């Protein structure tokens, strides 16, 4: 093979191999949750709500498509395939707490008032204020991800959440913390974009559980305050 052709082939292969990679998202620190020791008394927790402070349609990343992960359409918040629900995030929160022995009450799927929710001593609410998404759909042949297999992808997601903990006994928000979480995979996974967003949110929950202040607040009895009680946590 003539050298110019060999050089051209090397350049082509290098570009092709480089194109297979997905641009990285911001990587958050991953901490080990502090589990509740078995047999310990802890304040029951209810996850009250998760809200977002990201404008509808704001660009949060870019899709890539095809075997070489070519640049495609912009990824916009809650647009197109970003169809994750608040119920899915609530379920993710509950699973992470239960896996670490935290007492969780309240049924997020109850159609009417759930009596068990009244047992909660601590109400938790979260505000999602940043999301970053960079993923590739290698089996789609369209920049708009509307041709081929559009449920299998690889790449990464990043999420930042501000949390508030409201004490029923104290009648006020008693703790606030902001966490970050990310999820990345170089291998393709099925399930679509919700898988990436749920995993980034789960990483936030685990980092919340790793926080010493949060852990001690759940374990430590909360003293009653001589202040009027409000009926619901502050909006965040």
Other beta carbons less than 10 A from residue 128's beta carbon: 21
pLDDT of residue 21: 72
pLDDT of residue 214: 96
pLDDT of residue 79: 60
Residue 103: which of 156, 52, 45, 28 has the closest Cα? 45
- Rounded mean pLDDT of 142-148? 89
Q: Is 92 helix (H, G, I), strand (E, B) or coil?
A: helix
pLDDT of residue 31: 96
pLDDT of residue 80: 58
Give the phi and the psi of residue 207 in degrees, each rounded to 5: -70, -30
pLDDT tens digit sequence for 162-180: 999 999 999 999 999 999 9
User: pTM here?
Assistant: 0.82
Cα–Cα distances in Å, from 152 out to 135, 183, 194, 214, 222?
10, 15, 11, 36, 47
Rounded distance between C-alpha atoms, residue 214 and residue 218, angstroms: 6
Find out whether 27 and 99 touch, Cβ atoms under 8 Å: no
DSSP 104: B
| Farthest-apart Cα atoms in the chain, separation | 87
Instruction: Pick the more confident residue, 221 or 229.
Output: 221
């Amino acid at each position: 093979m003539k050298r110019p052709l060999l050089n051209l082939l090397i350049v082509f292969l290098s570009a092709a191999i480089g194109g297979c990679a997905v641009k990285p998202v911001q990587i958050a620190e991953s901490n080990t949750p502090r589990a509740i020791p078995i047999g310990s008394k802890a304040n029951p927790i209810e996850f009250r709500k998760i809200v977002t402070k990201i404008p509808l349609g704001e660009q949060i990343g870019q899709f890539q498509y095809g075997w070489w992960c070519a640049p495609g359409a912009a990824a916009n918040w809650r647009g197109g395939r970003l169809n994750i629900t608040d119920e899915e995030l609530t379920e993710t929160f509950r699973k992470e707490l239960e896996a670490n022995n935290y007492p969780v009450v309240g049924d997020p799927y109850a159609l009417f008032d759930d009596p068990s929710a009244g047992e909660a001593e601590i109400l938790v609410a979260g505000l999602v204020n940043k999301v970053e998404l960079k993923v590739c759909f290698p089996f789609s042949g369209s920049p708009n991800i509307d041709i081929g297999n559009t449920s299998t992808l690889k790449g990464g997601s990043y999420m930042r959440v501000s949390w508030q903990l409201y004490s029923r006994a104290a009648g006020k928000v008693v703790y606030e913390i902001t966490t970050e979480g990310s999820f990345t995979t170089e291998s393709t996974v099925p399930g679509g974009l919700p898988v990436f967003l749920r995993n980034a949110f789960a990483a936030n929950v685990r980092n919340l559980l790793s926080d010493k202040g949060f852990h001690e607040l759940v374990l430590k009895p909360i003293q009653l305050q001589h202040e009027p009680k409000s009926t619901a946590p502050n909006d965040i």
